[in-house]
Amino acid sequence: MNIEIDASRLLCPMPVIRLQDAINESKIGDIVKITCTDPGVKNDIPAWCNINKHIILSIEEQDYQIIICVRKENND
């Protein structure tokens, strides 16, 4: 299942919290696509994924948006 989150105009830590909530409700192998405008997510979300052992599939920048795709890898 693919999940999309719009975290535009939210400042850290809210995009990470929204991602965490979506990951917690998804199944292993699901992909969560989060759209953000806070440039801090380019560091914060990969760091969170590294700690929680999820995989960053892509980080794209389009105009003022940062779009990050994450695959859930475990249930911890």
Active-site annotation, residues = 12
- Cα(47)–Cα(3) distance, integer angstroms: 20
- Cα(34)–Cα(66) distance, integer angstroms: 8
